Amino acid sequence: MLGTCHGEHAERFSRLPEVQAALDFANARTSTSHHPISGRRSGKRRPERNDKAMAIAAPALRPHRFSRAEYYAIADSLDPSLRYELLDGTIYAMSPAKPPHAGVVDFFLNRLRALDPTIYQLRSQAVVEIEPDGSPEPDVAVLTFRSDYYATSHPNGGDAHLVIEVGDAERNPREKMSKYMRDGRIPHGWRIDIPNRCVELWEPSDVELPIAILGGSDGFGFEGVTFTIAGTFAILESPK
């Protein structure tokens, strides 16, 4: 995860007058008793017990919140061997997809091609702009068809009818889907939970939790393209 800008903030932090005053004060007090920083004794004189402590509150370092414009501006300077996405002002590096993850993504892409191509357009692992300050790359997005195929500008939450995320080993499994729903314009989200062999259905009416968790013999679908839980995860079984 990026977004802290440690070097820039650390430099500004070190130049603050109150911080420098604290360092000068500490060094003056320890010049005959302790070496600065190291803490080793260099003399026998000890500080007087009635010396007043000097407390200076230094401002806390905080991660930088990137706007979409800033993110796009620095995108070419990021490691080209990795994929990144912006979520709520924070830049995340994404791990390479493992075979189960990639296979499930391709499964949904293949099945959803049955949708009317004059109405819907499929997009995979490419930017869909959401609010606030988000440029995630959903595994699958079903968008409103546009004649330029979004070559002149990225789609946004208002262009998306369905986003699908395939989950296998995320640190916060539901965080990304929750951010999609907070945008408020994406009516449907599916989170495909590979470890637990279930599918979470999300809608903006609840931005924290799925409206349903499907398993076993349950079915789900979008605009006439139907799926079953068993059929979805059957591709993960060893080929016969």
Segment 160-184, tens digit of pLDDT: 999 999 998 766 789 999 999 999 9
Q: In CATH, what is the architecture of 97-234?
A: Alpha-Beta Complex (3.90)
Mapping DSSP to helix (H, G, I), strand (E, B) and coil, where does residue 178 land?
A: helix
Residue 24's alpha-carbon distances to 18, 30, 188, 216, in angstroms, are 10, 10, 59, 68
Residue ranges of the chain assigned to CATH 3.90.1570.10: 97-234
Tokens read off for 138: 């959903």
Per residue in 96-108, pLDDT tens?
889 999 999 999 9
Burial 140-157 (b: 16+ CB within 10 A, else e): bbbbeeeeeebeeeebbb
Residue identified by tokens 């989200």 is 189
pLDDT at 8: 33
204 forms beta bridges with none
Non-local CB neighbours of 100 within 8 Å, separated by 6+ positions: 168, 194, 236
Residue 50's alpha-carbon distances to 3, 47, 188, in angstroms, are 44, 9, 67
Per residue in 130-157, pLDDT tens?
999 999 999 999 999 999 999 999 999 9
- Report CA 120 to chain centroid distance, whole Å: 26
